[in-house]
């Protein structure tokens, strides 16, 4: 009779120790990833310190470091990395770098000829304002939101994405554009002007209606007829085929609707995010290490290239989504994100100090069909990887320490 309590105690200890080992493992993953990110980012910041018109972008086909001007859509990501690393370390040298590289993007507050103002400004000035309360940053962000809003057409109900290739698309809207809505939601709350929120939610609603297939996979590009407001084409530009599921596009969709639920508490957005997450997490061609192939339908799977940038975007979104959901679904979101972070923090993806032109992650895919930025580091892969690490440290490890 005395064996039962003993067995119960031993079993309980086994569960507690197993859970604790898992927590300790994730702490080590997060610490290792952030430490490496600090080393690489400081080296990167130093390398461009005297070139005030340049920001990191990728590595070219010739193996050489490629930078971008502020006008390029990825210009805000490296400043954002620096702000996240400053947030988690309180290292004043990182703050100095963050301020400098953020200021390089300031003129994009007046950009009206593309939809990437949110990427450019909110990742840089948005994180800066969140951490410092700098009033100048706030005014730049509000002007940026006004500029982005000029691309909204009520007949369509969406913000126009691209102005190029007008012979192919009449009014193209890409799934990536969901990410720029966060700037508008922020601007609405900060300014009291509901117009910004109206535009963001209209865009999210129309995209939810027309961008998704019955299995909740997303097209990359939907072009709209400007007279009727209805879709005239549904394409996938950077994926394998029009009806394929481009991996980073699925990540943008997951992140975008998770963010929109956070900002609005509209259950329709949460439901959409959950359905997109199920498509990703339960997909038979998602590898065991959870870093997706560049397209879920790439014809050469399992030999197809992986996309670290897609994995990083998904991991960050899944960590947040796990906080808004319950039960087995929440656990699955967190488990997949943990596996993604473990994989990205392994030697296969995490660059050694001073290598990889000082980018943090290796093996991302920008535009495979266009033969652009294929199997190289990408500045936005680094951004979402660091964001995911910081989110996990703040939201998950903190909760674990309290629960123990």
Tell which residue, 290, 278, 153, has the closest CA to residue 223.
Answer: 153
pLDDT above 90 (res 16): no
Q: Domain total for the chain? A: 1
Tell which residue, 285, 315, 317, 290, has the closest CA to residue 302.
Answer: 285
- Domain membership flag for residue 12: no
pLDDT above 90 (res 184): yes
Confidence at residue 165, expressed as pLDDT on a 0 to 100 scale:
87
- Domain membership flag for residue 30: no
CATH code, 112: 1.50.10.10
Confidence at residue 399, expressed as pLDDT on a 0 to 100 scale:
65
Confidence at residue 22, expressed as pLDDT on a 0 to 100 scale:
83
Confidence at residue 398, expressed as pLDDT on a 0 to 100 scale:
82
**pLDDT tens digits, one per residue of 297-311:** 999 999 999 999 999
For residue 176, indicate whether it is catalytic: yes
For residue 116, indicate whether it is catalytic: yes
- Domain membership flag for residue 19: no
* Per-residue pLDDT band at 404 (split at 50, 70, 90): very low
Give dist(CA 338, CA 392) in Å, integer.
9
Read off the pTM.
0.94
- Domain membership flag for residue 6: no
Residue 143 sits in which domain range?
35-398
- Domain membership flag for residue 4: no
- Domain membership flag for residue 24: no
The single residue of 107, 116, 289, 295 carrying the catalytic annotation is: 116
For residues 162-166, average pLDDT: 91
Average the pLDDT over each of 15-29, 247-261, 323-337 and give the range with the smallest value.
Answer: 15-29
For residues 23-35, average pLDDT: 96
Which of the 8 DSSP states describes residue 266? -
The DSSP result for 333-385, as a single string, is: HHHHHHHHHHHHTSTTTBPPTT-GGG-SB--EEEETTTTEEEEE-BHHHHHHH
- Domain membership flag for residue 1: no
Give dist(CA 143, CA 183) in Å, integer.
11
Residue 157, helix vs strand vs coil: coil
The single residue of 92, 107, 113, 176 carrying the catalytic annotation is: 176
- Domain membership flag for residue 227: yes
Confidence at residue 400, expressed as pLDDT on a 0 to 100 scale:
60
**pLDDT tens digits, one per residue of 82-134:** 999 999 999 999 999 999 999 999 999 999 999 999 999 999 999 999 999 99
């Amino acid at each position: 009779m005395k064996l039962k309590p003993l067995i119960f105690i031993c079993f309980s200890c086994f569960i507690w120790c197993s859970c604790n080992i898992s927590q300790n493992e994730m702490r080590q993953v997060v610490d290792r990833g952030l430490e490496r990110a600090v080393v690489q980012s400081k080296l990167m910041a130093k390398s461009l310190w005297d070139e005030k018109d340049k920001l990191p972008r990728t590595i070219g086909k010739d193996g050489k470091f490629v930078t971008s001007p502020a006008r390029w859509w990825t210009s805000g990501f490296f400043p954002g990395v620096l702000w996240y690393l400053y947030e988690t370390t309180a290292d004043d040298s990182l703050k100095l770098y963050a301020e400098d590289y953020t200021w390089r993007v300031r003129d994009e507050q007046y950009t009206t000829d593309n939809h990437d103002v949110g990427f450019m400004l909110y990742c840089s000035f948005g994180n800066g304002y969140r951490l410092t309360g700098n009033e100048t940053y706030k005014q730049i962000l509000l002007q940026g939101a006004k500029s982005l809003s000029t691309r909204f057409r009520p007949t369509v109900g969406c913000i126009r994405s691209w102005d190029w290739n007008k012979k192919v698309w009449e009014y193209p809207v890409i799934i990536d554009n969901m990410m720029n809505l966060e700037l508008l939601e922020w601007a609405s709350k900060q300014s009291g002007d509901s117009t910004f929120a109206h535009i963001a939610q209209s865009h999210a609603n129309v995209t939810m209606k027309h961008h998704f297939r019955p299995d909740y996979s997303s097209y990359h590009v939907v072009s709209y007829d400007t007279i009727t407001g209805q879709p005239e084409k549904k394409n996938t530009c950077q994926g394998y085929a029009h009806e394929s599921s481009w991996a980073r596009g699925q990540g943008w969709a997951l992140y975008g609707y998770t963010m929109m639920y956070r900002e609005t508490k509209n259950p329709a957005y949460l439901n959409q995010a959950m359905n997109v997450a199920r498509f990703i997490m339960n997909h038979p061609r998602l590898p065991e290490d959870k870093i997706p192939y560049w397209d879920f339908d790439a014809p050469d799977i399992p030999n197809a290239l992986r996309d670290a940038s897609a994995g990083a975007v998904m991991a960050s979104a899944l960590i947040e989504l796990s906080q808004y959901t319950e039960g087995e679904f929440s656990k699955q979101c967190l488990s997949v994100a943990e596996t993604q972070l473990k994989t990205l923090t392994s030697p296969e993806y995490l660059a050694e100090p001073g290598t990889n032109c000082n980018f943090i992650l290796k093996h991302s895919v920008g535009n495979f069909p266009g033969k652009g930025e294929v199997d190289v580091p990408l500045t936005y892969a680094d951004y979402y990887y660091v964001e995911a690490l910081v989110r996990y440290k703040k939201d998950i490890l903190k909760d674990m320490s309290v629960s123990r």
